Amino acid sequence: MMMAPRATQPQSAADAPAARDIYLPEPATLLAVQQLTELERLFDFRLDSGRELGHWPGQFVEVSMAGIGEAPISLCSAPTRKGSFQLLVRKVGNVSGALHRLQPGERVGIRGPFGQPFPVEANMLEQDILFIAGGIGLAPLRSAIQYVLDRRRHYGAVAILFGAKSPAERLFVDEAPEWACQPRVAYMETVDRASSDWQGNEGVITTLLP
């Protein structure tokens, strides 16, 4: 959850992706994959055409696997991070299972980006921002978090609240300290069920609210 209304994203001609049919799959190659939890993996893709995807935080793509099917997946990296784009995939079905078997160098089809983006260049500018996410809901917000932190001087104070079912199911644990080190950024997390060695907050995410 992000406490800001959504709005159509302004886009200059210089920022607009080259004219193309976003409804036709475009080949993309897997550059790297990282296991984040037992069920979630982070995939780093690059379009074979070499162009940027041209997305905004909050959008998604349709990922197709030949002979298997297609699934919508939220983009979890910001367009400010050039050269590739990232998808966080939970293994729950045929397409996601096939994605989890992919190795670097293999290809998928990408359609999009689709969806209404977060208003990062509209009414979020110069405002304090509160990001609230539970579980895999952090994936689409990570794109907005990266964008805001990459353009830090354009926004006010930032608070990021994250909740997971258990310590083992926390996402982006290596990045959270980097987020918290940014000027006027606060990061807090909690788990529903603490393990014996967990030293952080325990309880549902609403316990982090004042």
SS3 of residue 160 by DSSP: strand
pLDDT tops 70 at residue 6: no
- Give mean pLDDT, residues 62-84: 97
- Give mean pLDDT, residues 153-182: 97
Q: What is the pLDDT of residue 13?
A: 34
SS3 of residue 145 by DSSP: helix
Domain residue ranges in the chain: 26-114, 129-208
Rounded Cα distance between 109 and 194, Å, is 40
Q: What is the pLDDT of residue 5?
A: 39
Q: Global pTM?
A: 0.89
Q: What is the pLDDT of residue 195?
A: 92
Rounded Cα distance between 83 and 113, Å, is 16
Q: What is the mean pLDDT of the chain?
A: 92
Q: What is the pLDDT of residue 164?
A: 98
In this structure, which topology does domain 26-114 adopt according to CATH? Elongation Factor Tu (Ef-tu); domain 3 (2.40.30)
Query: Shortest CA distance to 136 belongs to which of 177, 92, 102?
Result: 92
pLDDT tops 60 at residue 73: yes
Place of tokens 């696997």: 65
Architecture field, domain 129-208: 3-Layer(aba) Sandwich (3.40)
| pLDDT confidence tier of residue 19, bands split at 50, 70 and 90 | low
Q: What is the pLDDT of residue 14?
A: 37
Q: What is the pLDDT of residue 2?
A: 44
